[in-house]
Amino acid sequence: MNQQALIAILLLSPLIGFFLNGVRFRSTNYVLAGSIATIAVLISFICSVLLFLNLVDLPPEARRITANFFEWIAVDKFKINAGFAVDQISSIMILIITGVGALIHLFSIGYMHHDKGVTKYFAYLNLFIFNMLILVLGDSLLTMFVGWEGVGLCSYLLIGFWFNDSAKAAAGMKAFITNRIGDAAFIIGMFILFMTFGTLNMHELNMLAPTIAESSWLGAVTLGTMMLFIGATGKSAQIPLYVWLPDAMAGPTPVSALIHAATMVTAGIYMIVRLNGLFIVAPNTMMVIAIVGAATAVMAATIGLTQFDIKKVLAYSTVSQLGYMFLAVGVGAFGAGMFHLMTHAFFKALMFLGSGSVIHAMHEEQDIRKMGGLRKYLPITHATFFLGWLAIIGMPPFAGFFSKDEILWKAFSSSQGHILLWAAGVLGAVLTAFYMTRLMALTFWGKSRVDKSVHPHESPWLMTVPLIVLAILSVVGGWVGIPHVISEQIGHIPNFWEHWLEPVIRKLPTVVEGAHHDETMLEWSLMGISVGLAAISALTAYIMYTKKEGASDKVAKAFGPVYQLVNKKYLVDEAYSAGIINPLIEGSKNLWYYVDVNVIDKATYKVTDLVRGGGSFVKSLQTGNMQQYAMYIGIGVVVALSFVLMR
């Protein structure tokens, strides 16, 4: 089939699904709604696979399929096409989006079947997939921005899906407004890049990027990329704009899996990888990205240690893992960032869906203190979650190990890297191992603390099948990018991932002194350190939360105020309220009272007074006294005549 037609079907299929469900959104027929939506995404997935196979057939340098559907905007030199491009990077993204998306749609049929808004839910979900595909495939920054805003809208709609609960509606608004701050920076970034390069086409931007790195902080490329990165911190939940993501857990759990773990929140990383030719010549921006990523990875992980809501733990874990990806792209390891993006999509979607299965089984209970011992009630959920757990804590040979190790190695060895960045990454890994083991232990292992009135039950096949598929992917997903040091030992398995991305990714030189042998030794030992520490950390957590009753409370007490601070999420929300939101509200109130009421309103009142006063003066001339009128006429004639005569 024609490749352009494939792209069109890929994009339109979820949109049609959205319309089919959207026009009958009051229906409660969950089978019909779910089938339409799932099939729509499945068609997209098939198109993605076909496009991927088409790409594979092409020679590596020419792997780029473009489709220009129409000219969207044409103002003088500013021309934007409704153009879409499938290349090495976006093909992976569309496979993840439609593949994981289809699984999550399937899961949703089981999860949402009792909900009255089920048809509306599936309509939103399809709309999200459509927008996400626009974001990923759009070949210019502006087309990407359309999808960028579109997924933001769907995120808002789905976080506030149960909008009768005002807290959930507020969480939706928080996400939307926080994203808006980032979006403003994104737009400014686009302005700067267009002013500098005269195009917004990402392929051209990468080509036009200067060849020499820009050392100034105020250079056009540095400023432009910095602004785009600020946009990315909004969408991908990094410091300082991460605060919306934990609240976004108010949405239905499959939404958290799809939007707030696997796809939308990775848009920022995708955008940076897309423009890697530009970012790589802005080392200052790269440094900021790496530091922000590392700081987010550690900070979010520490908050994850103290949360008791199963979804909140996973949310902070997501923030932390996204931090890893930013660390990767910040040190120039764009391939590693994308790699972690993919493996994370597998195991985090798995864990969110697993938590959804748990919540479903526990009748909407999300507090892990009221769980425990669920292994025997939910064997499939437990088994799949277990594999996801091994993947996220980076145990070889599960998916997370390869991607995380790649990032840590690059953080250490890249010319943009630093030993402190590596150390932060390892610390993050250790913390991740701890809180994830804690989550496993409190939820599935140990003694049951389940309320007597609740009878947990395993979920139906609609929900377990996606779990099983994702669990398999979480195990094998990392095998496409086995690092050289390991493949040397186990029979030269090529690193498909690097080969695949090589033509579209610019690389930074590695700076490790010494011969090849030393480098290999170093990589092995660093790998050993991170895996070893993570394993010890996981073991400690396991003992603390299953074997020794009350040990965790003692530790919490020992840390006292520190624990409280972390548990309260470093009071960041409160600080934002006190530092930004309340001053804004107060300032607005003052503006309202002093400027609006006292200046603007008064000014308009003065104008009306003037008109009214003038009117009453003119009114007084109309006395009804004919002789007065006659006099006015006489005076008028005299004035007019004298004017004519004097001239």
Partner 1 sequence: MPETNMITTIGAEHYLVLSAILFSIGMAGVLLRRNLIVLLMSIELMLNAVNISFVTFSYYSGKVEGQIMVFFVMTIAAAEAAVGLALAVSIFKRFKEVNIRFFEHLKG
Whichever of 626 and 644 has its CB closer to partner 1, that residue is 626
Are the C-beta atoms of residues 64 and 139 closer than 8 Å to each other? no
Single-letter code of the amino acid located at 253: T
Is residue 259 helix, strand or coil? Answer: helix
Q: Shortest gap between Cβ of 23 and partner 1 (angstroms)?
A: 59
Q: Are 389 and 304 in contact (CB under 8 A)?
A: no
- Which residues of the chain form contacts with partner 1 (CB under 8 A)? 622-627, 630-631, 634
Secondary structure (3-state) at 513: coil
CB nearer to partner 1: pick between 215 and 623: 623
Q: In terms of CB distance, is 494 or 634 closer to partner 1?
A: 634
- Smallest separation (angstroms) from partner 1 to the CB of 625: 6
For residues 600 and 633, which CB has a smaller minimum distance to partner 1 in the complex? Answer: 633
360: left (phi over 0), alpha (psi -120 to 50) or beta: alpha
Least gap, CB of 172 to partner 1 (angstroms):
60
Extract the tokens encoding 143.
């087309």
Cβ distance to partner 1 smaller for residue 525 or 623: 623
The nearest distance, CB 608 to partner 1, in angstroms, is: 23
- In whole angstroms, what separates CA 1 from the centre of its chain? 33
Helices 399-413 + 516-542 axis angle, to 10: 130
d(CA 403, CA 389) in angstroms, rounded, equals 15
Residue 583 or 634: the one with the smaller Cβ distance to partner 1 is: 634
Token digits of residue 22: 């959207």
| Residue 623 Cβ vs partner 1, minimum distance, rounded to whole Å | 7
Tokens matching residue 644: 């004519």
**Nearest approach, Cβ of residue 631 and partner 1 (Å):** 5
Between CA 584 and CA 405 the distance in angstroms is 44
Q: How many residues does the chain have?
A: 647
Minimal distance in Å, beta carbon 641 to partner 1? 12
Which tokens is 553 given?
């409370």
Of 114 and 619, which has the nearer Cβ to partner 1?
619
Q: Which is nearer to partner 1, 560 or 624 (CB)?
A: 624
Helix %, strand %, coil % of the chain (to 5): 75, 5, 20
Nearest to 551 by CA among 431, 441, 433, 432: 441
Q: What is the DSSP letter of 212?
A: S
H-helix or E-strand spanning residue 199: none
Q: For partner 1, give the closer residue by CB, 56 or 638.
A: 638
Question: Minimum Å distance from CB 632 to partner 1?
Answer: 11
The residue among 2 and 625 lying less far from partner 1, judged by its C-beta, is 625
CB of residue 622 to partner 1, shortest distance in Å: 7
Shortest CB 633 distance to partner 1, Å: 10
Q: How far is the CB of 644 from partner 1 (least distance, A)?
A: 16
Complex with partner 1: residue 536 or 641, whichever CB lies closer: 641
Give the sign of the dihedral formed by CA 539, CA 294, CA 172, CA 104: negative
Q: Give the C-alpha separation, 329 to 331, whole Å.
A: 5
Please list the residues that pair with 309 across neighbouring strands.
367
Q: How far apart are CA 347 and CA 399, in angstroms?
A: 8
CA distances (Å), origin 558, targets 303, 435, 552, 553, 555:
17, 18, 10, 8, 5
Element (H, E) at 69: strand 64-75
Rounded to the nearest whole angstrom, what is the least distance from the CB of residue 169 to partner 1 in the complex?
57
Give the integer Cα–Cα distance in Å for 426 and 434: 12
Taking the CB of residue 399, how many other CB atoms lie within 10 A of it? 31
Which residue lies nearer to partner 1 by CB, 452 or 619? 619
Encoded tokens for 219: 């250079």
